[in-house]
Amino acid sequence: MEFTKKTVKLKSETYAYLDEGKGEPVLFIHGNMSSGVHWLPAIERLKDDFRCIALDLRGFGDSSYNERFDGMKDLADDVAEFMEKIGLKTATHIVAWSAGGAVALMLAAHHKDKVKKLFLVEGASYRGYPIFKKKKDFTSDYGKAYANKEELATDPVQVKPMLDIFETKNAAAMTNIWNTVIYTVNKPTTEDNEVYMAETLKERCLIDLDWALATLNMSDTNTAYTRGDGSVKDIECPVAVTMADKDLTVPDWMVMENVNGIKNSKLIAYTNCGHSPLIDCPDKLTEDIKKFLVD
């Protein structure tokens, strides 16, 4: 797996990114525990038809982490500035995976002039991805939110174990997590997985990202964490939303929140596919991306 990252300086951060191919530009936004490198299966299949740009968000991959962030809009503002800096000054196709979908939704709502079409690959809901307090048996105490980032960091199931893995750079433990909850159908080759895990373990912003996901609420109703700001109504571009039948990370009901709550959206369903269509069905995924973008 060969790739070269470029860098560009923003106002407060330096962003690293891949830039392959020629043609109409497509910007790829990765999810949690990943980087732009995780988009390589799609880039390899699309670079003959599109200019494929895959960035590392703030605190991920080889991008800087000079300032902490509190919400998805902070990252969406980064992406908008990044697009300006590399010359993407007009509406651009956006493809976003998992938590990156939340960043893309904020981009489409608050920087609508930047987004031509949006393709969400197992994207987080516009109503957020909350982490609730845990009971004594370590199950979620639904509806009970953590008060702040510091308290969230103590979560004994979803957060603290992950922080320990990042701190110790435990590639074996991280691989086990991906094999359990993300690669539920197919798995990358051993060689490719080593590259992916090396990129994953560069993440420094887990608490900020988890808090941003938990407090995201673009609806007009309240969640356990925050009041909705109604900004989902400001998304005007065409949106495609994938739903994989074996995704253990983003449940069907969360996908359907996006389908039902975002105007001008369409559902694309995948069978025998988990949270990473990039590994489980890359040919089908890129075929659907291409069709959606050119139609």
Q: Tens digits of per-residue pLDDT, 275-293?
A: 999 999 999 999 999 999 9
Which pairs from 40-48 meet CB under 8 Å and 24+ separation?
40/1, 40/3, 41/278, 41/279, 41/282, 41/286, 42/95, 42/278, 42/282, 42/285, 42/286, 42/289, 43/18, 45/282, 45/283, 45/286, 46/21, 46/286, 46/289, 46/290, 47/20, 47/21, 47/22, 48/21
- What CA–CA distances, in Å, run from 105 to 2, 126, 232, 272? 30, 7, 8, 26
How large a percentage of the chain has pLDDT more than 90? 99
Tell me the average pLDDT across 141-152: 97
The residues, ordered by sequence, that sit 6+ positions from 176 with a Cβ below 8 Å of its Cβ are: none
Helix, strand and coil in the chain, % to nearest 5: 40, 20, 40
How far apart, in whole angstroms, are the C-alpha atoms of residue 145 and residue 141? 9
Annotated domain spans of the chain: 6-294
Distance of CA 109 to the CA centre of its chain: 16
CATH homologous superfamily, domain 6-294: Alpha/Beta hydrolase fold, catalytic domain (3.40.50.1820)
Instruction: Indicate the pairing of strand 14-20 with strand 50-55.
Output: antiparallel
Structure tokens at 84: 């300006």
What does pTM read for this prediction? 0.98
* Total Cβ atoms within 10 A of residue 263: 12
> How open is the CA angle 85-199-280, to the nearest 5 degrees?
100
Q: How confident is the model at residue 153 (pLDDT cuts 50, 70, 90)?
A: very high
Q: How far apart are CA 251 and CA 130, in angstroms?
A: 13
CA–CA distance, 287 with 163 (Å, rounded to integer): 36
Beta carbons of 243 and 210 less than 8 angstroms apart: no
Look at residue 5 and tell me whether its pLDDT is greater than 90: yes
pLDDT given at position 27: 98
Nearest to 242 by CA among 271, 217, 279, 210: 271
Eight-state DSSP code of residue 275: S
Q: What is the DSSP annotation of 198-211?
A: HHHTT---HHHHHH
What is the C-alpha radius of gyration for the chain, rounded to an integer number of angstroms? 18
Looking at residue 220, what is its pLDDT? 97
- Looking at residue 1, its pLDDT comes to 79
Mean pLDDT along residues 52-81:
98
Q: Which phi and psi angles does 233 have, rounded to 5°? A: -65, -15
pLDDT band for 245, please (50, 70, 90 cuts). very high
Cα–Cα distances (Å) from 153 to 43, 149, 233, in that order, read 34, 6, 32
Q: Convert the pLDDT of each residue in 98-112 to its tens digit.
A: 999 999 999 999 999
Give the rounded percent of residues in the chain with a pLDDT score beyond 70.
Answer: 100
Average pLDDT value over all residues in the chain = 98
pLDDT for the residue numbered 2: 87
CB 265 within 8 A of CB 118: no
